[in-house]
A and B are shown apart, each in its own frame.
Chain A
Amino acid sequence: MERNEKAFTPDPEYLLQVRNLKEYFPITTGFMQTTMLKAVDDVSFDIRRGETLGLVGESGCGKTTVGRTVLQLYKPTAGEIWFNGKKIDNRANLKEFRKKAQMVFQDPYSSLNPRMTVADIVAEPIDVHQLCKTKKEREERIHELMNLVGLNTEHATRYAHEFSGGQRQRIGIARALASRPEFIVCDEPVSALDVSIQAQVINMLEDLQTQFGLTYLFIAHDISVVKHISSRIAVMYLGHMMESASANELTKHPQHPYTISLMSAVPIPDPAVSRKQHRIVLKGDVPSPLKVPEGCPFRPRCERVTAACAKSCPAMREVAPGHFAACHNI
């Protein structure tokens, strides 16, 4: 999946192709002193049409930044983003891309404007891109969208604070669907919700995907949820891509030492399995992203560390068919 060619030609099989994406943020670290925080460092991936790519990792690993940079909410420091065979690098392309690519945010409380009614929130992409010519058409579209996500159309004139967390997330999803997108970045869409509501929203996202042929980039830290919804999963650590494979392959046969320990740390809701589970408890914390270790970023916490790990940062390579990992020792 990951190739490193100089002249890149897009593959029509893929909806989105990201090459060597970098996103650095300047951080003031002292008087007249700035350090570059490498939130995303040389990340490449592809997403097939109608597929869901799950992106997992611990907090601070750069998964949200990847999602936001792909949507050009941050200007990439370096790297290329190809969407539908077109490189997103000029204003005309960007405007079309913004219509076709949308986002669902993690926190349904802060991502909805408290001063706007549900109808106005949902219709914002319609208004921005001038998708409806008449008021009647706009209203019909709002009602259609609210029905799609299972909201009562009578509630269109209410404000966001009158809804529960699950319903708010539905409003957020309706807004994302308003411009008839092909691609949606779901940034932790269910992690703020209760378990019983999570399943409702996950099922709805799956239904919408089949109905409209949507492609998702699904960012989450809950591995069992990501496994359920994704066809492929990519694992990130400190701004670097560590491993990517099909969802079943990655959860069953992880290759990278970081993924192995991550999988073993996931609590399984089954006492008998849980008691027998062999846990690899990682020592220490994730290093500060301002001081990413040289060589492999996982080196200080890795059990299998060798001299080669300090010398160079391993590149992603195919370790099994369709299974990529960035480790010197596999």
Chain B
Amino acid sequence: MSLLEVKDLHTSFFTSAGEVKAVNGVSFSLDKGKVLGIVGESGSGKSVTAYSILQILTHPGKIVSGSIRFRDEELVGKSDTEMREIRGNKISIIFQDPMTSLNPTFTIGNQLKEAILLHTDRNKKQAEERAIEMLKLVGISEPEKRIHQYAYELSGGMRQRVMIAMALACEPDILIADEPTTALDVTIQAQILELILDLQKKMGMAVIMITHDMGVIAQICDEVIVMYAGSVCERGTADAIFYHPCHEYTKGLMRSIPDMNDDDKKRLIPITGTPIDLLHMPPGCPFAPRCDRAMKICLQEKAQEYWVGHDQLSACWQNVKDGICSTERPEEEEEEKEEKVKHGKK
């Protein structure tokens, strides 16, 4: 049984201009101790999916339908008081910008203790000890001194470490990381990613990593979900998605990233057109207006998810046309295994 099971989630923002379907039928499951990556461009609904899980959507946003089961317990429909037991305790989140998500008027020790006091039986003194222990764990030097400092006194990388310490203080089952390294430099990004992976292994929690950077996904994720305009294009293991992309959008995305090992500077192949306007969604596949291989059916009807490999699902009519997909999950083939090894060597 999965730790987290999201089924056919629809989240909309009811704005004055009309309903914006930010998340449009997303399903996935997350197992204990796994790192799941959600990748997509801005407006693809990756953050809103995460916010829906924690029900921290801002005003015009609402979960319209679908189910989110955590440890076989339905989260959709829970009251705010009930959700508070889960947020920061069982499921934690770290945000992109550590400066705006820390309160500038409280010391970081104060903010760290808040979650500990709220969710555990520790008293103030024990909470402070725990806060120092957490800061030490995320690699902050002189934690006894740091807990009396304010967010502005710390560098960007340090602030993100504090956010991670805060999120992990109650030993959650799931850590949601919403673009945790986008605002950081590459050398600091490497530090933070290593820290998250290290703590994930130590504490045995599951991680949902939301990012737009395929490089970050390749570095730390076991499984990947590719999203576009609120829908899941493709999901599967990282190897399957990177070496055997089956959705036209994933393929296009891979082609448009410059290759570090390409010395001849081959021309990039961009995805044509502009991102979709979520207020005016086409009836068919959301990617169809930008897709080079769009067929008549793509514009009329959204494809459902079909199995294209032992551990890969893809929602693209092209696979149906080419006859390389099925509604049943195929057995893992020997050839496939060999192929994986081959690709791994490449």
Contacts and interface: CB of A to CB of B under 8 A. Distances in A.
Given A200-B270, A266-B215, A271 B242 contact: yes
B252 A274 contact: no
B270 A282 contact: no
Interface in B83-126: none
Interface stretch (B57-65, B259-267, B314-322): B259-267
Contacts of A194: 41-42, 212, 275
Interface stretch (B23-31, B142-150, B163-171, B183-191): B183-191
Nearest to B263: A248
A267 B218 contact: yes
A269 interface: yes
SS of A interface (majority): helix
Contact of B345 (A228, A272, A277, A281): A272
Contact of B213 (A203, A262, A267): A267
B8 interface: no
A270 interface: yes
A265 B189 contact: yes
**Which label, helix, strand, loop or mixed, suits the secondary structure of the B interface?**
helix
B346 A265 contact: no
A225 B260 CA distance: 8
Interface in A223-242: 223-225, 227-229
B343 A272 contact: yes
- Tell which of A164, A270, A272 has the most Cβ of chain B within 10 Å: A270
Interface in B183-238: 185-191, 193-194, 212-219, 238
A206 interface: yes
Given A58-B187, A267-B215, A196 B252 contact: yes
B271 interface: yes
B257 A265 contact: no
B326 interface: no
Contacts, number: 131
Interface string A279-318: 1011001100000000000000000000000000000000
A197 interface: yes
A266 B271 contact: no
Contact of A281 (B194, B214, B271): B194
B252 to A, nearest CB: 7
B258 interface: yes
A199 B41 contact: no
Interface residues of A, number: 44
Interface in B132-163: 155, 157-158
A269 B194 contact: no
A124 B150 CA distance: 45
A10 to B, nearest CB: 29
B56 interface: no
A167 interface: yes
B294 interface: no
Contact of A195 (B212, B216, B269): B212
A278 to B, nearest CB: 12
A225 B191 contact: no
B260 A271 contact: no
B258 A285 contact: no
Nearest to A228: B258
B41 A267 contact: no
A164 B258 contact: no
A202 interface: yes
Nearest first, the 5 closest Cβ-Cβ pairs linking A and B are A267-B215, A199-B270, A228-B258, A199-B256, A269-B214
Given A203-B268, A268-B219, A281-B187, 9 more contacts: A58-B187, A59-B185, A167-B274, A195-B256, A196-B290, A199-B258, A199-B271, A229-B265, A268-B218
9 contacts: A194-B212, A195-B256, A196-B41, A223-B186, A265-B187, A267-B219, A269-B214, A270-B242, A285-B188
